Amino acid sequence: MGLPLRRSKVEPPPPCPLTRSLLLLRGAWAPNVIWALSGEARRFGELRHDIPKISARVLSARLRELEIRGLVSRQLLDTSPPSAEYALTELGREMMPAIKALVAVGHKLPEVDARARKPARGASIAGRLAA
């Protein structure tokens, strides 16, 4: 049996603004969804078309999470069948310069060869790096 866990008597440090900002973008595809909404409000099907590799389930989850975090707003449209339109909030628009900066860095990175990501059987690290 282990020792009981004691409660810390030290107050935690104040939260870091960078960490709080990055927490808004957590989740696979969240920056892609924000990017897709940066031009104008979009419906769910339009977003699926804009981000072809995302599944409906993941897109739905990201939209809900981004709405809860205050980055995306959802407006119900009076149509038959009912649908919703998603748009960036003011906070969501404030994230765009950071996302654009990440995209700019991504364009400067060297293209990764697909063969370099999958090592051949029995190939050494040095052999893969030399290839």
Each residue's pLDDT tens digit, 43-98:
999 999 999 999 999 999 999 999 999 999 999 999 998 899 999 999 999 999 99
Q: Which of 57, 35, 54, 53 is nearest to 101 (CA)?
A: 35
Decide: helix, strand or coil at residue 38. coil
Domain tally, the chain: 1
Domain assignment present for 73: yes
CATH number of 71's domain: 1.10.10.10
Domain assignment present for 49: yes
* Residue range 1-24: mean pLDDT, rounded: 87
Q: Which domain holds residue 94?
A: 17-100
Domain assignment present for 29: yes
Domain assignment present for 6: no
Strand order across the beta sheet in which 72-77 lies = 42-43, 83-88, 72-77
Domain assignment present for 9: no
Tell me the whole-structure pTM to 2 decimals. 0.73
Domain assignment present for 47: yes
Question: Could you write out the DSSP letters of every residue in 39-72?
Answer: SS-EEHHHHHHHSTTS-HHHHHHHHHHHHHTTSE
The Cα 13–Cα 80 span in angstroms is 51
Domain assignment present for 129: no
